[in-house]
Amino acid sequence: MGLNKKSVDDINVAGKRVLVRCDFNVPLKNGEITDETRIVAALPTIKKLLADGGKVILCSHLGKVKNGPNEGESLAPVAKRLSEKLGKEVNFVSDYNVTGEAATAAVEAMKEGDVVLLQNTRFRGKEETKNGEEFSKELADLCDVYVCDAFGSSHRAHASVAGVTDVVRAKGGECAVGYLMQKEIDFLGNAVENPVRPFVAILGGAKVADKLNVINNLLEKCDTLIIGGGMAFTFLKAKGYEVGNSLVDLEKIDYCKEMMEKAEKLGKKLLLPVDTTIAAAFPDPIDAEIEVSVVDADKIPADMEGLDIGDKTAELYADAVKSAKTVVWNGPMGVFENPVLAKGTIAVAKALAETDATTIIGGGDSAAAVNQLGFADKMSHISTGGGASLEFLEGKELPGVVAADDKTE
């Protein structure tokens, strides 16, 4: 996958209409934004384009929009918060048609340095999610230049991510990536394609099935692969261990055996838990007090389940990170939402915080864990994607990355 893309530093937007696809898919509670991380992350690109004299038109999706356009999934709260952050009015086009007459009129009235925010792109339903030609054209008609800064959506070939770029390019416009996208390409993309070695990959999370292709791809690229979280038990079961009531994917046992054989054949280290923190049952609610004990990984009682890595494993994993030059981490080591079962995840986060290696957190739950546990500022890069980060780690081409113009030398 060509990763050398035109960025906002390579284009001239003075006096031009710039359509920026952002990721404003923020969590809302009673119409209020509960976490503004994604809005804050979009600001550098927006400010750069404004400073360069662009007319900046922003678009994004929010939520899944299962039952058609509705006020509960409108981008109105985002416009309000953006106006506060930018210190200038963001003209919100509330029209559910997204690109209709109201949008056209708002864009026509723009002066250099103005900001317009279009309504939720998913209000156009399948026209957005199936990369509809007509909607792609309507979006492209509003702009001269297109910038994608929505890494979290870059793995989806939607009209506002992919289709629009074909039309913009056909009329002589440029398609570039914003600073957020650029950072993801620099860190996540290059970590997998050209890592500085030793390269250690840490995979956790509940299900092996979610990470099949990631395990396969990273085994070929990394020097050491560390497995934790719920998916470790399918590997332990594949080794013939008794895992009690722990989470196991019986259909993937052969796959785990294959991966262990592959690691051996390629001369890669594949580290699995040597001990496990166990309890009688999963905590309910998730942060409830819970009684736990630690046993060797091959001695889990039949009526107990593993919910975190044990102390010896935490030490083993932390040790493996010490000599690394590049570390990619995706997925927690245990049920980190529970203070008693967060120890393993904290130990790994701490090891990453203390190493000199380039440390990359691959989005989703591991990003949430690092943020919640207070280690965020110690990491080189925390990915803003969930599914997009995983697909990058799988070595897949992301439509949003492919769609940007390549840099001309």
Look at residue 207 in the predicted model and tell me its pLDDT. 81
Catalytic pick from 38, 81, 156, 183?
38
Residue 377 buriedness (CB in 10 A; 0-12 / 13-18 / 19+): exposed
Is 21 an annotated catalytic residue? no
SS3 175: strand
- Sign of torsion, CA 82 84 85 87? positive
Is 207 an annotated catalytic residue? yes
Confidence class for position 409, pLDDT limits 50, 70, 90:
low
Confidence class for position 2, pLDDT limits 50, 70, 90:
low
* pLDDT, mean over the chain: 94
Host H or E run for residue 342: none
CA gap 372, 215 in Å, rounded? 26
Catalytic pick from 113, 132, 386, 387?
387
Closest CA to 213 of 400, 390, 3, 398: 390
Residue 179's contacts (CB-CB under 8 Å, 6 or more residues apart) are 7, 8, 44, 45, 48, 149
Catalytic pick from 47, 137, 207, 350?
207
pLDDT in tens, 334-351: 999 999 999 999 999 999
DSSP β-ladder status, 358-361 and 381-382? parallel
SS3 114: coil
Confidence class for position 396, pLDDT limits 50, 70, 90:
confident
Catalytic pick from 173, 229, 306, 364?
364
Is 169 an annotated catalytic residue? no
Percent of the chain with pLDDT over 70: 99
- In this structure, the number of other CB atoms found within 10 A of the CB of residue 250 comes to 8
Look at residue 315 in the predicted model and tell me its pLDDT. 97
User: Quick check: 357 and 326 in contact, CB under 8 A?
Assistant: yes
Q: Rounded to whole angstroms, what are the CA distances from 189 to 44, 79, 237, 367?
A: 21, 31, 33, 17
pLDDT in tens, 4-32: 899 999 999 999 999 999 999 998 988 99
Is 364 an annotated catalytic residue? yes
Determine which of 294-303, 350-359, 381-390 has the lowest per-residue pLDDT on average.
381-390
CA gap 214, 206 in Å, rounded? 14
